[in-house]
Homo-oligomer: A and B are copies of this chain.
Amino acid sequence: MTTNGDGDADPTRRAATGPPAGRRRRDPEASRGAILDAARAELNAHGYSRMTIRRVAARAGVTHGLVMRHFGTKERLFLAAIPGPQRLGAALAGDPATLPERIARAYVDRMETADADDPFVALIRSAAANDPTATRLYSAMQEHSRAAYRDVLDGPDVDARVDLIAAVLLGVTFSRYVIREGAVAAMAPATLAEHLTALLRPVVLPASGTAPGD
């Protein structure tokens, strides 16, 4: 357990929205916001169980006591820091024939733009550690996405296929955004989208490929 070695220190102090501060800014909303931003960053970097309130406080430029005052417990801070997943239903609607491509594009677009503090990576990290709170939230979030896919999928075995889509995207996410190593992590977004399209086609449109038995 060496000392430390990741992340960046705060620029001046109170990293988030707010005017440059002297000391004891006394601005509860700004503090709350800074704490939440810091929590999201720490969550992304370490997952729930290794995110410490003191580190969140330090990153936000406040004391850990203030974090407790605002959020009470670590779990409540966690829940407050995780934003709800943005809707992807809209991006999926359209011609069924090009659905694989749209799923791939929607995924890549989302991950590539919102990477900085997307809760998905944080939740994967947390859920992997077998943390009950994180696992619960992760499942809820996955179910949300699955519902969107379920709406647009057609044919047999919808549940299984929806879950397979989710699994594929999960694997790519893990490889590209969590481990960040290997060809999947290195390829350009457009290339990734192309590969994903090809990969998803047989699951999204089982008729055009080989349908897996009974």
Contact = CB atoms under 8 A, between A and B. Distances in A.
A212 interface: yes
Copies of this chain, count:
2
Contacts of A212: 191, 194-195, 197-198
Given A164-B184, A169-B171, A182-B142, A50 B47 contact: no
Contacts of A197: 212
The secondary-structure label for the interface of chain A is helix
A182 B166 contact: yes
Interface residues of A, number: 56
Nearest to A179: B127
Interface in A20-68: 45-47, 49-50
Interface of A: 45-47, 49-50, 124-125, 127-130, 135, 138-139, 142, 146, 159-164, 166-176, 178-179, 181-184, 187, 191, 194-195, 197-199, 201-203, 206, 209-214
